[in-house]
A and B are shown apart, each in its own frame.
Chain A
Amino acid sequence: MSTPVLSVKELKTRFNTQDGTVHAVNGVSFELRRGELLGVVGESGSGKSVTMMSLLKLIPMPPGEIVDGVAEFEDVDLVQVDPDHMRDIRGGKIGFIFQDPMTSLNPVLTVGRQIKESLELHTDLDKKQRQARAVELLEMVGIPDPAQRLKAYPHEMSGGMRQRVVIAIALACEPQIIIADEPTTALDVTIQAQIIDQIRELRQNLGTAVIWITHDLGVIAGLADRVVVMYGGRIVEVAPVKPLYGSPQHPYTQGLLRSLPRLDRDDELESIPGTPPNMYTEPTSCSFAPRCKYAFDKCTTEIPPLVTVGDGHEVACWFDIDKGEPR
């Protein structure tokens, strides 16, 4: 097992809003290994984006606040690091691809300007080299006629093109880590496939580690090395792809997989009953318990910790589904 490039421990993020405190991330710990692609899944509002944005302090602060946790990256703690150092890391060492391609680019600056901006900050390239690099980047993400396209404004491009530009910006300085927040959900299927291919290729060529946030369990199955499943601002299960899809250990993961349509079987699609957890109170027990058919008294009094159940397979559940009894 290779050494982790990023190691997050007990990360907690809150939003102090007028309606109360939103407990968006409630103690998240995970590791990202060199060159791996880590999938992050979970329903809307489970804290996927906030977790990853907290790492680069890209959440709005205030109202956001990182109350606890450590995120080790290259011998520094991203939670404590000073703003100057954080700026070196942002864009230079960790690239971020945001959820919405339509609004992620500045409408009044040309695409080229926005790509070169990162290069100005993090590389020693001169003006000519930056231009060459920008052309190369657009080529890499599959934009035809790149030299011409650099002069375009975002509104002159389609959603797919813009998302590629956002990806190009994230890749510009060859970061060690790319965090991709649902990079393809806004795109249609063929473009999705192209972008996925490109990211896969880049990973092979550059050895970049990728965190890929998605709703789409199908995409992640063919792409990721390991998958993290989030629920209510916590990680409920981590596993390499095969065991996760083959023998999911958390009732929530099982529910997620059962709600996925499959061609080889004819089962009814199931949805998970109940509603997502209330984020206004800090969890003191398993957040999934109210929706869980296996829940017993312990589930409503204590938060289950992540326990190892197989090779690299961890689950946070008081109930052992395979054995059919509490752990």
Chain B
Amino acid sequence: MLRYTIRRFVFAVPMLLMISLIIFTILAFAPGDPAGALPLTIPAEVREAYRESLGLNDGFWGRWIKWVRAMFWYEPQHAIESIGNFCIGDCIDPGERIISFSSRSPAVDTIYERLPQTVWVLGLGLLFGIMIAIPIGIYSAYKQYSAFDNVGSFVSVVGWSMPVYWTGLILIFIFSVNLKWFPSFYDTTHDVQFTSWSSIWIQIKQLIMPVTVLSLFNAAAFSRFTRASVLDNLNQDYVRTARSKGLREFLVINRHVVRNSMIPVVTLIALSSAGIFSGAILTETVFRINGTGSLLITALGQADTPMLQTLTFFIAVMTVFFNIIADILYGLLDPRIRYD
């Protein structure tokens, strides 16, 4: 298992290089030009100089190699240096880092600033969603076609088909506009002090609505998936064998059925965890959370290629990472899977 894990991580590196090249190619051929947003009164020479200063005239391969070098070498070096507060050899020149076209500041720093709010909201949304979904999914399957199951199925189909911007707006309308209980937007500047109740309370208040919206959406999907997986297992012969031993239903379900049904569910959870980092564009827009999702959308609008490239690559890294985690979990949970 350890060998397998190491092998997977080692193979991830060339894969990520390939992914970066693909992203780079797509962005290079995408229409849009950061100089295009400049006022028309600016003369062509200035425009050209601007493009030159952004490095846009370096040619495809040159730009890619520069980016790869920065991403795989300078950025990690900078990260280590700033965490450890020392310099490796000559200190890293900030100009070597990946600089956003529009903000003229390092792209990685911006992403790093944007991550906490996204992770808070999406992470809690996923966590609560799963916590609601799994018991409901198990019970619905166990009582297939009962009133509980039918209501549950109906609610989750509705929850699944209602877009988050719609449920989000309704919540804002009720709880922010009418009742004035919760703020309608997320205040990123709020610094959560875990020693102060009022500080935590402010954070909870601004989290409640977006987290609720995402939890319900996730719960709808995960409860369906759990239900299907449990149903699959309930019809298996080994369940009958368990009953034939005289086991109580509670143990038949929890010891035998759930353990088997959770294998695909846990795998799916691990895969979905990558999404926590990539942000939720719609939810972030509705609740005005300036997380990675809204960063992506803004960068797109500004044709901010370095930012897009870096952010997309970061999402790819997370996806690859959680894919590996999912595979490892799968191997740990299911004794039939042996990787070595």
Q: Are A87 and B248 in contact (CB under 8 A)?
A: yes
Contacts A107-B238, A108-B260, A118-B246 known; list 16 others, CB within 8 Å: A90-B245, A91-B244, A103-B237, A103-B238, A104-B240, A104-B241, A106-B241, A107-B334, A107-B335, A107-B336, A108-B263, A108-B335, A109-B255, A153-B336, A166-B241, A169-B245
Q: Are A58 and B245 in contact (CB under 8 A)?
A: no
Q: List chain B residues, Cβ under 8 A from A117.
A: 242, 245, 247
In residues 227-274 of chain B, which contact A (Cβ within 8 Å)? 235-238, 240-248, 255-256, 259-260, 263
Interface residues on B, range: 20 to 34
Q: Is B19 an interface residue (CB 8 A)?
A: no
Given contacts A107-B238, A155-B335, A96 and B256 within 8 Å (CB-CB): no
Q: Which residues of B contact A (CB under 8 A)?
A: 235-238, 240-248, 255-256, 259-260, 263, 333-336
Q: List chain B residues, Cβ under 8 A from A91.
A: 244-247
User: From residue A16, how far is it (CB to closest CB) to chain B in Å?
Assistant: 12
Q: Are A108 and B333 in contact (CB under 8 A)?
A: yes
Given contacts A103-B237, A108-B260, A109-B259, A96 and B336 within 8 Å (CB-CB): no
Instruction: Specify which of B246, B259, B336 is in contact with A155 (CB 8 Å cutoff).
Output: B336
Given contacts A106-B260, A107-B260, A117-B247, A98 and B335 within 8 Å (CB-CB): no
In residues 61-114 of chain A, which contact B (Cβ within 8 Å)? 86-92, 95-96, 98, 100, 103-109, 114
User: From residue B49, how far is it (CB to closest CB) to chain A in Å?
Assistant: 66
Cα–Cα distance between A92 and B336 once the two chains are bound (Å)? 30
Task: Look across to chain A and name the residue whose beta carbon is closest to the beta carbon of B145.
Answer: A62
Q: List chain B residues, Cβ under 8 A from A170.
A: 244
Q: Is A56 an interface residue (CB 8 A)?
A: yes
Cα–Cα distance between A56 and B245 once the two chains are bound (Å)? 10
Q: Is A149 an interface residue (CB 8 A)?
A: no
Instruction: Specify which of B235, B242, B244, B333 is in contact with A106 (CB 8 Å cutoff).
Output: B242
Cα–Cα distance between A237 and B134 once the two chains are bound (Å)? 51
In residues 9-28 of chain A, which contact B (Cβ within 8 Å)? none
Interface size of A by Cβ–Cβ distance < 8 Å? 32
Task: Look across to chain A and name the residue whose beta carbon is closest to the beta carbon of B335.
Answer: A153
User: From residue B337, how far is it (CB to closest CB) to chain A in Å?
Assistant: 10
Q: List chain B residues, Cβ under 8 A from A206.
A: none
Cα–Cα distance between A103 and B256 once the two chains are bound (Å)? 13
12 contacts between A and B (CB under 8 A): A60-B235, A89-B246, A90-B245, A91-B247, A95-B244, A106-B238, A106-B242, A117-B242, A118-B245, A121-B247, A166-B241, A169-B241
Cα–Cα distance between A203 and B191 once the two chains are bound (Å)? 75
Interface string of A151-190 (1 = CB under 8 A from B): 0010100000000001001100000000000000000000
Cα–Cα distance between A95 and B237 once the two chains are bound (Å)? 15
Q: List chain A residues, Cβ under 8 A from B241.
A: 96, 98, 104-106, 114, 166, 169
Task: Look across to chain B and name the residue whose beta carbon is closest to the beta carbon of A115.
Answer: B245
Q: Is A133 an interface residue (CB 8 A)?
A: no
Instruction: Specify which of A104, A153, A169 is in contact with B237 (CB 8 Å cutoff).
Output: A104
User: From residue A86, how far is it (CB to closest CB) to chain B in Å?
Assistant: 8
Cα–Cα distance between A234 and B263 once the two chains are bound (Å)? 43
User: From residue B149, how far is it (CB to closest CB) to chain A in Å?
Assistant: 13
Cα–Cα distance between A91 and B245 once the two chains are bound (Å)? 4
User: From residue A58, how far is it (CB to closest CB) to chain B in Å?
Assistant: 6
Task: Look across to chain B and name the residue whose beta carbon is closest to the beta carbon of A122.
Answer: B246
Q: Are B244 and A98 in contact (CB under 8 A)?
A: yes
Cα–Cα distance between A104 and B238 once the two chains are bound (Å)? 4
